[in-house]
Amino acid sequence: MKAAENRVVPADFQEHLARLEEAGLLVRVDRPINKDTELHPLVRWQFVGGYPENERKAFMFTNVVGSKGESYDMPVVVGALAASDEIYAMGMGVAVEELGEIWMHAIDHPIAPEFIDTAPCHDVVITGDELKQPGRGLSRLPVPISTPGFDAAPYLTATVCVTKDPETGVRNMGTYRAGLKGEDRLGVRMASRLGGAGGYLHWLKYQKLGKPMPCAIVVGCAPVVAFTGPQKLSTQQDEMAVAGGLAGRALRITKCKTIDLEIPADAEIVVEGYIDTEMLEPEGPFGESHGHVALEDFNMSMVVTAITHKKKAVFTSIISEVTPSESSILKKSAYEALYFAHLKNQLEVRGIKKVVMHEPLTNLRKVLFLQFAQGAPETEVWRGLQGAASLQAQCGKIVIAVSEDIDMHNTDAIFWSLAYRSNPIEDTLLVPHRSGGHGPKSGAGGDSTMLINATLKHSMPPLALPAKPYMENSKKIWEELGLPRLSVKAPWHGYDLGDWSPDWQAFADNAAKGDWLANGDNTYSRRRAGLSPETPVRNVEGGKPDKKSGGGH
Protein backbone atom coordinates (compact mmCIF):
# COMPACT_ATOMS: atom_id res chain seq x y z
CA MET A 1 0.00 0.00 0.00
CA LYS A 2 1.44 3.33 -1.11
CA ALA A 3 0.22 5.28 1.95
CA ALA A 4 1.99 2.86 4.31
CA GLU A 5 5.45 3.46 2.87
CA ASN A 6 7.98 5.51 4.87
CA ARG A 7 5.39 6.63 7.44
CA VAL A 8 6.30 8.10 10.80
CA VAL A 9 3.27 7.70 13.09
CA PRO A 10 3.40 9.45 16.51
CA ALA A 11 3.52 6.91 19.34
CA ASP A 12 1.75 9.25 21.77
CA PHE A 13 0.13 12.65 21.98
CA GLN A 14 3.21 14.55 23.11
CA GLU A 15 5.29 13.22 20.22
CA HIS A 16 2.55 14.52 17.92
CA LEU A 17 2.69 17.95 19.62
CA ALA A 18 6.46 18.11 19.14
CA ARG A 19 6.04 17.44 15.43
CA LEU A 20 3.33 20.08 15.12
CA GLU A 21 5.59 22.65 16.80
CA GLU A 22 8.49 21.74 14.53
CA ALA A 23 6.20 22.28 11.52
CA GLY A 24 5.05 25.69 12.80
CA LEU A 25 1.54 24.43 13.50
CA LEU A 26 1.51 24.96 17.29
CA VAL A 27 0.91 28.31 19.02
CA ARG A 28 2.05 28.56 22.65
CA VAL A 29 0.09 30.96 24.86
CA ASP A 30 1.89 31.68 28.14
CA ARG A 31 -0.27 34.48 29.54
CA PRO A 32 -3.07 33.56 31.98
CA ILE A 33 -6.14 32.23 30.15
CA ASN A 34 -9.42 31.44 31.92
CA LYS A 35 -10.53 27.94 30.98
CA ASP A 36 -14.14 28.75 31.88
CA THR A 37 -14.61 31.91 29.79
CA GLU A 38 -11.69 32.52 27.43
CA LEU A 39 -9.91 29.38 26.26
CA HIS A 40 -12.36 27.83 23.80
CA PRO A 41 -13.66 31.18 22.50
CA LEU A 42 -10.07 32.20 21.70
CA VAL A 43 -9.42 29.10 19.58
CA ARG A 44 -12.89 29.30 18.02
CA TRP A 45 -11.88 32.53 16.25
CA GLN A 46 -9.74 30.67 13.74
CA PHE A 47 -12.84 28.72 12.65
CA VAL A 48 -15.28 31.66 12.43
CA GLY A 49 -12.92 34.46 11.42
CA GLY A 50 -12.38 33.48 7.83
CA TYR A 51 -9.04 31.87 8.69
CA PRO A 52 -8.05 29.60 5.75
CA GLU A 53 -8.09 25.97 6.86
CA ASN A 54 -4.47 25.37 5.86
CA GLU A 55 -3.40 28.17 8.23
CA ARG A 56 -5.23 26.92 11.31
CA LYS A 57 -3.05 25.98 14.26
CA ALA A 58 -3.07 23.94 17.44
CA PHE A 59 -2.98 26.07 20.62
CA MET A 60 -1.14 25.14 23.81
CA PHE A 61 -2.09 27.09 26.94
CA THR A 62 0.60 26.86 29.61
CA ASN A 63 -0.90 29.23 32.19
CA VAL A 64 -4.47 28.03 32.70
CA VAL A 65 -6.67 29.55 35.39
CA GLY A 66 -10.33 29.19 36.43
CA SER A 67 -13.11 31.60 37.31
CA LYS A 68 -12.70 30.80 41.01
CA GLY A 69 -9.03 31.79 40.98
CA GLU A 70 -7.75 28.27 40.40
CA SER A 71 -4.43 27.74 38.70
CA TYR A 72 -3.31 24.54 37.00
CA ASP A 73 0.16 23.16 36.32
CA MET A 74 -1.15 20.97 33.49
CA PRO A 75 -1.20 22.65 30.05
CA VAL A 76 -4.30 22.51 27.86
CA VAL A 77 -4.09 21.90 24.12
CA VAL A 78 -6.90 22.58 21.63
CA GLY A 79 -6.77 22.04 17.88
CA ALA A 80 -3.94 19.50 17.94
CA LEU A 81 -6.04 16.64 16.63
CA ALA A 82 -7.92 18.19 13.74
CA ALA A 83 -7.82 21.98 13.45
CA SER A 84 -7.08 21.26 9.78
CA ASP A 85 -6.75 18.33 7.42
CA GLU A 86 -2.97 18.85 7.52
CA ILE A 87 -2.82 18.52 11.31
CA TYR A 88 -5.06 15.44 11.15
CA ALA A 89 -2.89 13.87 8.45
CA MET A 90 0.29 14.52 10.49
CA GLY A 91 -1.22 12.42 13.27
CA MET A 92 -1.53 9.55 10.77
CA GLY A 93 1.88 10.02 9.18
CA VAL A 94 0.44 10.40 5.67
CA ALA A 95 -0.31 13.15 3.18
CA VAL A 96 -3.83 14.58 3.15
CA GLU A 97 -4.64 12.97 -0.19
CA GLU A 98 -3.77 9.51 1.26
CA LEU A 99 -6.18 9.67 4.22
CA GLY A 100 -9.01 7.75 2.53
CA GLU A 101 -6.66 4.99 1.40
CA ILE A 102 -5.11 4.51 4.86
CA TRP A 103 -8.54 4.34 6.53
CA MET A 104 -9.86 1.71 4.13
CA HIS A 105 -6.70 -0.36 4.59
CA ALA A 106 -6.84 -0.14 8.42
CA ILE A 107 -10.48 -1.26 8.58
CA ASP A 108 -9.67 -4.27 6.39
CA HIS A 109 -6.28 -5.02 8.03
CA PRO A 110 -6.50 -4.47 11.83
CA ILE A 111 -3.47 -5.20 14.04
CA ALA A 112 -4.15 -6.54 17.53
CA PRO A 113 -2.63 -4.51 20.41
CA GLU A 114 0.32 -5.55 22.57
CA PHE A 115 -0.20 -5.82 26.35
CA ILE A 116 2.34 -4.37 28.82
CA ASP A 117 2.29 -4.41 32.65
CA THR A 118 3.93 -1.07 33.52
CA ALA A 119 2.67 1.96 31.63
CA PRO A 120 3.32 5.74 31.54
CA CYS A 121 -0.41 6.45 32.00
CA HIS A 122 -0.02 5.13 35.58
CA ASP A 123 2.78 7.46 36.70
CA VAL A 124 0.24 9.17 39.00
CA VAL A 125 -2.70 7.20 40.46
CA ILE A 126 -5.50 8.80 42.51
CA THR A 127 -8.10 6.50 44.06
CA GLY A 128 -10.31 6.07 47.11
CA ASP A 129 -11.18 8.91 49.48
CA GLU A 130 -8.66 11.23 47.86
CA LEU A 131 -10.96 11.49 44.83
CA LYS A 132 -13.70 13.07 46.92
CA GLN A 133 -11.53 15.80 48.44
CA PRO A 134 -11.99 19.32 47.03
CA GLY A 135 -9.49 19.95 44.29
CA ARG A 136 -8.19 16.36 44.33
CA GLY A 137 -10.76 14.68 42.10
CA LEU A 138 -12.00 15.83 38.70
CA SER A 139 -11.57 19.50 39.52
CA ARG A 140 -7.79 19.00 39.66
CA LEU A 141 -7.96 18.67 35.86
CA PRO A 142 -8.08 21.90 33.78
CA VAL A 143 -11.28 20.96 31.98
CA PRO A 144 -12.49 23.88 29.83
CA ILE A 145 -16.03 25.07 29.22
CA SER A 146 -16.62 24.56 25.51
CA THR A 147 -19.51 26.98 24.95
CA PRO A 148 -19.36 29.71 27.63
CA GLY A 149 -22.74 31.33 28.04
CA PHE A 150 -24.64 28.11 27.32
CA ASP A 151 -22.83 25.04 28.72
CA ALA A 152 -23.80 23.92 32.23
CA ALA A 153 -20.37 22.55 33.19
CA PRO A 154 -16.81 21.95 32.05
CA TYR A 155 -16.83 18.96 29.67
CA LEU A 156 -14.35 16.30 28.64
CA THR A 157 -14.64 16.41 24.84
CA ALA A 158 -11.50 14.83 23.32
CA THR A 159 -12.41 11.47 24.81
CA VAL A 160 -11.81 7.86 23.92
CA CYS A 161 -14.37 6.06 26.09
CA VAL A 162 -13.46 2.39 26.39
CA THR A 163 -16.19 -0.15 27.17
CA LYS A 164 -16.48 -3.91 26.63
CA ASP A 165 -19.34 -6.09 25.48
CA PRO A 166 -20.14 -8.29 28.55
CA GLU A 167 -21.21 -11.14 26.27
CA THR A 168 -18.52 -11.20 23.57
CA GLY A 169 -15.67 -9.29 25.24
CA VAL A 170 -15.27 -7.10 22.13
CA ARG A 171 -13.84 -3.69 23.06
CA ASN A 172 -15.42 -0.45 21.82
CA MET A 173 -13.91 3.03 21.78
CA GLY A 174 -16.25 5.97 21.44
CA THR A 175 -15.95 9.74 21.61
CA TYR A 176 -18.69 10.84 24.02
CA ARG A 177 -19.01 14.03 26.01
CA ALA A 178 -18.64 13.83 29.79
CA GLY A 179 -19.68 16.75 32.00
CA LEU A 180 -18.24 17.36 35.46
CA LYS A 181 -20.87 16.82 38.17
CA GLY A 182 -18.73 16.37 41.30
CA GLU A 183 -15.21 15.49 42.32
CA ASP A 184 -15.92 11.83 41.56
CA ARG A 185 -18.98 12.02 39.27
CA LEU A 186 -19.54 12.63 35.56
CA GLY A 187 -22.62 12.94 33.38
CA VAL A 188 -21.96 10.92 30.22
CA ARG A 189 -23.94 11.11 26.99
CA MET A 190 -23.81 8.13 24.63
CA ALA A 191 -26.11 8.49 21.60
CA SER A 192 -29.06 6.11 21.87
CA ARG A 193 -30.58 6.98 18.48
CA LEU A 194 -30.63 4.53 15.56
CA GLY A 195 -27.03 4.18 14.37
CA GLY A 196 -25.79 5.69 17.64
CA ALA A 197 -23.07 4.73 20.10
CA GLY A 198 -21.47 1.31 20.48
CA GLY A 199 -21.01 2.07 24.18
CA TYR A 200 -24.77 2.49 24.55
CA LEU A 201 -25.31 -1.04 23.19
CA HIS A 202 -22.93 -2.31 25.87
CA TRP A 203 -24.85 -0.29 28.50
CA LEU A 204 -28.10 -2.01 27.51
CA LYS A 205 -26.48 -5.41 28.02
CA TYR A 206 -25.15 -4.45 31.45
CA GLN A 207 -28.61 -3.11 32.32
CA LYS A 208 -30.13 -6.52 31.55
CA LEU A 209 -27.51 -8.10 33.80
CA GLY A 210 -28.40 -5.66 36.59
CA LYS A 211 -24.78 -4.48 36.83
CA PRO A 212 -23.05 -1.12 36.45
CA MET A 213 -20.93 -0.76 33.31
CA PRO A 214 -17.15 -0.31 33.64
CA CYS A 215 -15.90 2.61 31.55
CA ALA A 216 -12.47 4.15 31.08
CA ILE A 217 -12.32 7.66 29.61
CA VAL A 218 -8.99 8.36 27.93
CA VAL A 219 -8.06 12.03 27.42
CA GLY A 220 -4.96 12.44 25.26
CA CYS A 221 -3.42 9.54 23.33
CA ALA A 222 -1.75 8.71 20.04
CA PRO A 223 -3.75 10.44 17.30
CA VAL A 224 -4.51 7.15 15.52
CA VAL A 225 -6.34 6.03 18.68
CA ALA A 226 -8.15 9.35 19.11
CA PHE A 227 -9.21 9.29 15.45
CA THR A 228 -10.78 5.84 15.80
CA GLY A 229 -13.16 6.85 18.62
CA PRO A 230 -15.59 9.01 16.57
CA GLN A 231 -15.98 6.51 13.71
CA LYS A 232 -19.00 4.27 13.19
CA LEU A 233 -17.29 0.91 12.72
CA SER A 234 -18.76 -2.55 13.11
CA THR A 235 -19.72 -3.32 16.70
CA GLN A 236 -17.93 -6.67 16.29
CA GLN A 237 -14.62 -4.99 15.43
CA ASP A 238 -11.97 -4.25 18.08
CA GLU A 239 -11.36 -0.57 17.45
CA MET A 240 -7.97 -0.65 19.18
CA ALA A 241 -6.94 -3.14 16.50
CA VAL A 242 -8.21 -0.75 13.80
CA ALA A 243 -6.07 1.96 15.41
CA GLY A 244 -3.16 -0.45 15.12
CA GLY A 245 -4.00 -0.83 11.45
CA LEU A 246 -3.81 2.96 11.10
CA ALA A 247 -0.43 2.98 12.84
CA GLY A 248 0.89 0.03 10.88
CA ARG A 249 2.00 -1.67 14.11
CA ALA A 250 0.64 -3.13 17.34
CA LEU A 251 -0.21 -0.41 19.86
CA ARG A 252 0.56 -0.82 23.57
CA ILE A 253 -2.27 -1.38 26.03
CA THR A 254 -2.36 -1.95 29.79
CA LYS A 255 -4.87 -2.88 32.48
CA CYS A 256 -6.88 -0.23 34.33
CA LYS A 257 -6.21 0.13 38.06
CA THR A 258 -9.76 -0.26 39.40
CA ILE A 259 -11.87 -1.78 36.59
CA ASP A 260 -11.56 -4.73 34.22
CA LEU A 261 -10.67 -2.87 31.00
CA GLU A 262 -7.56 -2.31 28.90
CA ILE A 263 -6.50 1.18 27.84
CA PRO A 264 -3.78 2.77 25.69
CA ALA A 265 -0.62 2.47 27.79
CA ASP A 266 0.76 5.79 26.57
CA ALA A 267 -2.35 7.84 27.35
CA GLU A 268 -1.97 11.24 29.00
CA ILE A 269 -4.95 10.95 31.39
CA VAL A 270 -7.42 8.16 32.18
CA VAL A 271 -10.64 8.49 34.22
CA GLU A 272 -11.87 5.09 35.40
CA GLY A 273 -15.27 4.31 36.84
CA TYR A 274 -18.67 2.65 36.66
CA ILE A 275 -21.72 3.92 34.81
CA ASP A 276 -25.01 3.38 36.62
CA THR A 277 -27.45 1.30 34.54
CA GLU A 278 -30.47 2.08 36.71
CA MET A 279 -30.38 5.75 37.73
CA LEU A 280 -30.10 8.48 35.10
CA GLU A 281 -29.28 12.11 35.85
CA PRO A 282 -30.08 15.37 34.04
CA GLU A 283 -27.15 16.28 31.77
CA GLY A 284 -26.61 19.41 29.67
CA PRO A 285 -27.10 21.95 28.24
CA PHE A 286 -24.02 21.60 26.01
CA GLY A 287 -23.03 23.05 22.62
CA GLU A 288 -23.27 20.02 20.30
CA SER A 289 -21.56 19.16 17.03
CA HIS A 290 -24.86 19.40 15.15
CA GLY A 291 -24.57 23.14 15.64
CA HIS A 292 -27.22 23.78 18.29
CA VAL A 293 -27.12 23.58 22.06
CA ALA A 294 -28.22 20.15 23.29
CA LEU A 295 -30.74 20.80 26.04
CA GLU A 296 -31.11 18.85 29.29
CA ASP A 297 -31.64 15.12 28.83
CA PHE A 298 -31.60 12.35 31.41
CA ASN A 299 -28.31 10.63 30.64
CA MET A 300 -25.77 8.31 32.23
CA SER A 301 -24.20 8.95 35.61
CA MET A 302 -20.63 7.73 36.13
CA VAL A 303 -18.95 7.30 39.50
CA VAL A 304 -15.19 7.77 39.19
CA THR A 305 -13.01 5.16 40.89
CA ALA A 306 -9.59 6.36 39.70
CA ILE A 307 -7.82 9.16 37.87
CA THR A 308 -4.41 8.26 36.46
CA HIS A 309 -2.00 10.27 34.33
CA LYS A 310 1.58 10.76 33.21
CA LYS A 311 3.94 12.75 35.43
CA LYS A 312 3.90 15.66 32.99
CA ALA A 313 0.56 15.11 31.34
CA VAL A 314 -1.03 17.40 28.78
CA PHE A 315 -4.81 17.87 28.78
CA THR A 316 -6.45 17.93 25.36
CA SER A 317 -9.81 19.32 24.31
CA ILE A 318 -11.49 19.66 20.93
CA ILE A 319 -13.45 22.45 19.27
CA SER A 320 -16.90 21.14 18.38
CA GLU A 321 -20.24 22.94 18.03
CA VAL A 322 -21.03 24.70 14.72
CA THR A 323 -18.99 23.29 11.82
CA PRO A 324 -16.34 23.63 10.53
CA SER A 325 -14.70 22.42 13.70
CA GLU A 326 -12.22 19.90 15.00
CA SER A 327 -15.10 17.54 15.60
CA SER A 328 -16.11 17.53 11.94
CA ILE A 329 -12.56 17.11 10.62
CA LEU A 330 -12.06 14.19 13.03
CA LYS A 331 -14.94 12.40 11.30
CA LYS A 332 -14.63 13.62 7.73
CA SER A 333 -11.87 11.58 6.08
CA ALA A 334 -12.91 8.27 7.64
CA TYR A 335 -16.62 8.81 6.93
CA GLU A 336 -15.90 9.71 3.30
CA ALA A 337 -13.64 6.68 2.90
CA LEU A 338 -16.28 4.44 4.47
CA TYR A 339 -19.00 5.71 2.11
CA PHE A 340 -16.79 5.46 -0.96
CA ALA A 341 -15.76 1.90 -0.07
CA HIS A 342 -19.41 0.95 0.48
CA LEU A 343 -20.49 2.28 -2.91
CA LYS A 344 -17.48 1.01 -4.86
CA ASN A 345 -16.77 -2.34 -3.17
CA GLN A 346 -19.98 -3.51 -1.49
CA LEU A 347 -22.56 -2.15 -3.96
CA GLU A 348 -20.15 -2.19 -6.92
CA VAL A 349 -21.55 1.07 -8.28
CA ARG A 350 -19.92 1.68 -11.67
CA GLY A 351 -18.45 5.09 -12.34
CA ILE A 352 -18.29 6.34 -8.73
CA LYS A 353 -15.16 8.49 -8.29
CA LYS A 354 -15.41 10.20 -4.91
CA VAL A 355 -17.63 11.02 -1.93
CA VAL A 356 -17.53 14.41 -0.20
CA MET A 357 -19.52 15.35 2.90
CA HIS A 358 -20.48 19.00 3.16
CA GLU A 359 -18.98 20.48 6.32
CA PRO A 360 -19.70 24.21 6.98
CA LEU A 361 -22.77 24.55 9.25
CA THR A 362 -24.35 21.26 8.01
CA ASN A 363 -21.96 18.99 9.99
CA LEU A 364 -21.14 16.35 7.34
CA ARG A 365 -24.08 14.06 7.95
CA LYS A 366 -26.94 15.88 6.26
CA VAL A 367 -25.53 16.76 2.79
CA LEU A 368 -23.44 14.37 0.66
CA PHE A 369 -21.96 14.91 -2.78
CA LEU A 370 -21.15 11.98 -5.09
CA GLN A 371 -18.80 12.40 -8.04
CA PHE A 372 -19.27 10.16 -11.09
CA ALA A 373 -17.15 9.56 -14.17
CA GLN A 374 -18.37 11.28 -17.30
CA GLY A 375 -20.85 9.01 -19.06
CA ALA A 376 -21.67 6.82 -16.04
CA PRO A 377 -24.99 5.00 -16.67
CA GLU A 378 -27.95 6.81 -15.16
CA THR A 379 -29.03 3.59 -13.43
CA GLU A 380 -25.65 3.50 -11.64
CA VAL A 381 -25.96 7.14 -10.60
CA TRP A 382 -29.33 6.37 -9.00
CA ARG A 383 -27.97 3.24 -7.29
CA GLY A 384 -25.19 5.38 -5.84
CA LEU A 385 -27.62 8.05 -4.64
CA GLN A 386 -29.87 5.50 -2.95
CA GLY A 387 -26.93 3.57 -1.47
CA ALA A 388 -25.43 6.71 0.07
CA ALA A 389 -28.78 7.84 1.49
CA SER A 390 -29.46 4.48 3.17
CA LEU A 391 -26.07 3.36 4.53
CA GLN A 392 -26.51 5.08 7.91
CA ALA A 393 -29.67 6.48 9.46
CA GLN A 394 -27.91 9.68 10.47
CA CYS A 395 -26.29 10.49 7.09
CA GLY A 396 -27.53 11.44 3.65
CA LYS A 397 -30.65 13.55 4.08
CA ILE A 398 -29.67 15.37 0.88
CA VAL A 399 -27.46 13.57 -1.64
CA ILE A 400 -26.37 15.22 -4.88
CA ALA A 401 -24.61 13.51 -7.78
CA VAL A 402 -22.31 15.54 -10.05
CA SER A 403 -19.92 14.82 -12.91
CA GLU A 404 -16.19 14.57 -12.42
CA ASP A 405 -15.52 18.10 -13.70
CA ILE A 406 -17.30 19.57 -10.65
CA ASP A 407 -15.24 20.51 -7.57
CA MET A 408 -17.40 19.18 -4.77
CA HIS A 409 -15.69 21.44 -2.22
CA ASN A 410 -16.97 24.47 -4.13
CA THR A 411 -20.66 24.90 -3.37
CA ASP A 412 -20.95 27.50 -6.14
CA ALA A 413 -19.94 24.77 -8.60
CA ILE A 414 -22.57 22.47 -7.07
CA PHE A 415 -25.26 25.12 -7.55
CA TRP A 416 -24.08 25.65 -11.12
CA SER A 417 -24.45 21.93 -11.79
CA LEU A 418 -27.93 21.93 -10.25
CA ALA A 419 -28.94 24.96 -12.32
CA TYR A 420 -27.80 23.72 -15.70
CA ARG A 421 -27.57 19.91 -15.49
CA SER A 422 -30.76 18.89 -13.70
CA ASN A 423 -34.46 18.97 -14.44
CA PRO A 424 -36.08 18.97 -10.99
CA ILE A 425 -39.27 17.20 -12.07
CA GLU A 426 -37.27 14.31 -13.51
CA ASP A 427 -34.03 14.39 -11.56
CA THR A 428 -35.32 14.75 -8.02
CA LEU A 429 -36.67 11.96 -5.84
CA LEU A 430 -38.27 12.51 -2.47
CA VAL A 431 -38.21 9.54 -0.08
CA PRO A 432 -40.34 9.70 3.10
CA HIS A 433 -39.93 8.14 6.56
CA ARG A 434 -36.29 9.01 7.22
CA SER A 435 -34.84 8.89 10.75
CA GLY A 436 -34.27 12.31 12.28
CA GLY A 437 -30.64 11.39 12.99
CA HIS A 438 -28.16 13.68 14.70
CA GLY A 439 -29.69 17.07 15.51
CA PRO A 440 -31.62 19.20 18.01
CA LYS A 441 -34.76 17.70 19.49
CA SER A 442 -36.80 20.92 19.56
CA GLY A 443 -39.82 20.28 17.37
CA ALA A 444 -38.25 17.00 16.27
CA GLY A 445 -40.25 14.50 14.27
CA GLY A 446 -39.86 12.29 11.23
CA ASP A 447 -37.63 13.21 8.29
CA SER A 448 -37.25 12.52 4.58
CA THR A 449 -34.56 12.45 1.95
CA MET A 450 -34.49 15.77 0.08
CA LEU A 451 -36.29 18.83 -0.21
CA ILE A 452 -35.58 22.33 0.75
CA ASN A 453 -37.15 25.10 2.73
CA ALA A 454 -34.36 26.36 4.97
CA THR A 455 -36.27 28.95 7.01
CA LEU A 456 -36.66 28.60 10.76
CA LYS A 457 -40.02 26.88 11.36
CA HIS A 458 -40.09 26.63 15.13
CA SER A 459 -38.15 27.59 18.21
CA MET A 460 -34.79 25.81 18.46
CA PRO A 461 -31.96 25.58 20.98
CA PRO A 462 -29.33 28.31 20.88
CA LEU A 463 -26.69 28.32 18.19
CA ALA A 464 -23.80 26.34 19.67
CA LEU A 465 -21.07 28.96 19.79
CA PRO A 466 -19.78 30.79 22.87
CA ALA A 467 -22.07 33.69 23.79
CA LYS A 468 -21.26 37.15 22.43
CA PRO A 469 -19.54 38.64 25.50
CA TYR A 470 -17.07 35.73 25.70
CA MET A 471 -16.27 35.89 22.00
CA GLU A 472 -15.79 39.66 22.16
CA ASN A 473 -13.47 39.36 25.15
CA SER A 474 -11.46 36.57 23.53
CA LYS A 475 -11.17 38.64 20.34
CA LYS A 476 -9.38 41.30 22.36
CA ILE A 477 -6.97 38.64 23.66
CA TRP A 478 -6.48 37.37 20.09
CA GLU A 479 -5.45 40.86 19.01
CA GLU A 480 -3.22 41.39 22.09
CA LEU A 481 -1.38 38.18 21.18
CA GLY A 482 -0.60 39.58 17.74
CA LEU A 483 -2.33 36.67 16.00
CA PRO A 484 -3.30 37.04 12.31
CA ARG A 485 -6.02 39.51 11.42
CA LEU A 486 -9.52 38.05 11.57
CA SER A 487 -12.01 38.38 8.74
CA VAL A 488 -15.21 37.81 10.67
CA LYS A 489 -18.22 36.14 9.08
CA ALA A 490 -21.54 35.45 10.75
CA PRO A 491 -22.39 33.47 12.74
CA TRP A 492 -19.48 34.09 15.11
CA HIS A 493 -21.25 33.89 18.48
CA GLY A 494 -24.08 31.86 19.96
CA TYR A 495 -27.54 33.33 20.36
CA ASP A 496 -31.00 32.33 21.57
CA LEU A 497 -33.36 30.82 18.97
CA GLY A 498 -36.36 30.60 21.28
CA ASP A 499 -35.92 27.24 23.05
CA TRP A 500 -33.90 28.25 26.12
CA SER A 501 -35.01 28.53 29.75
CA PRO A 502 -33.88 30.76 32.64
CA ASP A 503 -32.78 27.61 34.51
CA TRP A 504 -30.41 26.61 31.70
CA GLN A 505 -29.07 30.14 31.51
CA ALA A 506 -28.43 30.00 35.27
CA PHE A 507 -26.52 26.73 34.78
CA ALA A 508 -24.39 28.36 32.09
CA ASP A 509 -23.74 31.44 34.24
CA ASN A 510 -22.74 29.23 37.17
CA ALA A 511 -20.37 27.22 34.99
CA ALA A 512 -18.69 30.34 33.63
CA LYS A 513 -18.18 31.56 37.21
CA GLY A 514 -16.64 28.23 38.22
CA ASP A 515 -19.72 27.16 40.19
CA TRP A 516 -20.37 23.99 38.21
CA LEU A 517 -20.46 21.95 41.44
CA ALA A 518 -23.69 23.75 42.33
CA ASN A 519 -25.13 22.60 39.00
CA GLY A 520 -24.03 19.05 39.79
CA ASP A 521 -25.72 19.22 43.21
CA ASN A 522 -28.90 20.44 41.50
CA THR A 523 -29.00 17.62 38.95
CA TYR A 524 -28.05 14.95 41.49
CA SER A 525 -31.13 15.81 43.55
CA ARG A 526 -33.26 15.31 40.42
CA ARG A 527 -32.09 11.81 39.48
CA ARG A 528 -34.79 9.39 38.29
CA ALA A 529 -35.06 5.65 37.75
CA GLY A 530 -37.00 3.83 35.07
CA LEU A 531 -36.00 6.09 32.17
CA SER A 532 -34.11 5.59 28.93
CA PRO A 533 -30.98 7.67 28.20
CA GLU A 534 -31.62 10.92 26.33
CA THR A 535 -35.12 11.37 27.76
CA PRO A 536 -35.70 15.16 27.66
CA VAL A 537 -35.82 16.47 31.21
CA ARG A 538 -38.82 18.71 30.55
CA ASN A 539 -40.86 15.71 29.35
CA VAL A 540 -40.49 14.30 32.87
CA GLU A 541 -40.36 17.40 35.07
CA GLY A 542 -42.79 19.54 33.07
CA GLY A 543 -42.23 22.82 31.30
CA LYS A 544 -42.50 23.68 27.65
CA PRO A 545 -44.35 20.82 25.88
CA ASP A 546 -42.50 18.99 23.12
CA LYS A 547 -43.87 17.51 19.96
CA LYS A 548 -43.41 13.76 19.96
CA SER A 549 -39.82 13.03 19.05
CA GLY A 550 -38.95 10.75 16.18
CA GLY A 551 -35.71 9.00 15.23
CA GLY A 552 -33.55 11.42 17.21
CA HIS A 553 -34.16 9.43 20.41
DSSP per-residue codes, 51-64: --GGG--EEEESSE
Rg over alpha carbons for the chain, rounded to the nearest Å, is 22
Asked if residue 352 belongs to a domain, the reply is yes
Mean pLDDT across 173-184: 94
In the β-sheet with 252-255, what is the strand arrangement from edge to edge?
A: 114-115, 252-255, 262-264
Within a domain: residue 358?
yes
CA distances from 240 to 164, 174, 464, 501 (A): 12, 11, 31, 41
CATH for 382: 3.40.1670.10
In a domain, 351, yes or no: yes
Residue 546 lies in a domain: no
Pairwise CA distance, residues 49 & 316, whole Å: 23
Alpha helices in 342-467 (DSSP H): 378-390, 411-421, 424-427
pLDDT of residue 27: 96
Q: Which pLDDT value is given to residue 491?
A: 72
Give the single-character DSSP code of 343: I
Average pLDDT value for residue range 135-151: 96
pLDDT of residue 289: 74
Range of the domain at 335: 329-449
The answer to whether residue 171 sits within a structural domain is no
Q: CA–CA separation, 187 vs 4, rounded Å? A: 39
* Number of folded domains that form the chain: 1
Residue 354 lies in a domain: yes
Nearest to 160 by CA among 299, 281, 311, 264: 264
Over residues 314-357, the pLDDT tens digits come to 999 998 887 777 877 777 777 888 888 889 988 999 999 999 98
Whether residue 405 lies inside any domain: the answer is yes
Q: What is the pLDDT of residues 390-411, one digit of tens each?
A: 888 778 888 988 888 888 888 8
pTM score of the predicted model:
0.80
**Which segments within 450-532 are labelled E, that is strand?**
528-529
Does some domain include residue 393? yes
